[in-house]
Amino acid sequence: MKTSSGPADDETSRLSALEAADRLFYAKGIQGVGMDELRTASGISLKRLYRLFPSKDAIVEQVLLARHRKWTEGISSAVARETQPRERLLAVYDFLAAWFIQEDFRGCAFINSFGELGGTSARVAEIVRSHKEDFQKYLSTLTAEMGAPPALAPQLAILAEGAQTTAAISGNAEPARQARAAAEVLIGAALVGQ
């Protein structure tokens, strides 16, 4: 087990615990992972884990917040590589396609977490809703850059959400390509006459 006592060591242990928790929760589900398994995977004693995080719920919260930052950075990076407003919007689906082929892809961690705990954990539900709202606001910004009507953003968000769930079930990236093709149709229809 790792032993340490300083603030830098606490931060290192905290990050190690969160990385292990993220990996385990995403692979097995939150309820499928106990604190003993997290202790073993992180190499941090239970006593220390509980000193760093007052509860498993606190770990879940921090894992989801870190996932939100990672998602936001990934989407933003993919979009920033494009210069044309239409292509910037479609880059969201290219990002999904690249994500879906990763070996450890298990669907959207937020949808998965909400399915497990959304009915019993108000904080998990709040974090998931905030994440989804932020994504839709981001799409609203991208559609506004194109001069498209505001109604387009939630439609495109639904395509992305559906692609994530379908890809997790089907085990391939085809839903991202299908969602991208549908997005192109919706964008074209939204811009007719403008």
The CATH number given to 1-54 is: 1.10.10.60
pLDDT in tens, 1-50: 444 456 678 899 999 999 999 999 999 999 999 999 999 999 999 999 99
Question: Tokens for 160?
Answer: 């992305």
Q: What percent of the chain has pLDDT over 70?
A: 95
Phi-psi region of 97 (alpha: psi -120 to 50; beta: other; left: phi over 0): alpha
pLDDT in tens, 137-168: 999 999 999 999 999 999 999 999 999 999 99
Which of these CATH numbers, 1.10.357.10, 3.30.70.100, 3.30.70.20, 3.30.1320.10, describes 64-191?
A: 1.10.357.10
Taking CA 33 as the corner, what is the angle to CA 28 and CA 36, rounded to the nearest 5 degrees? 145
Helix pair 109-117, 56-80: axis angle to 10 deg: 150
H helices of the chain, where? 7-28, 35-42, 46-52, 56-80, 85-100, 109-117, 122-146, 152-170, 174-191
Q: Where in the chain is the domain with CATH 1.10.10.60?
A: 1-54
Q: Where in the chain is the domain with CATH 1.10.357.10?
A: 64-191
Query: What CA–CA distances, in Å, run from 52 to 16, 58, 177?
Result: 11, 10, 42
CB-facing half-sphere around the CA of 167: CA atoms within 13 A: 29
Whether 193 has a pLDDT exceeding 70, the answer reads: no
What is the rounded end-to-end Cα distance, in angstroms, of the chain?
Answer: 63
Q: Under a CB-based contact definition with an 8 Å cutoff, are residues 74 and 96 in contact?
A: no
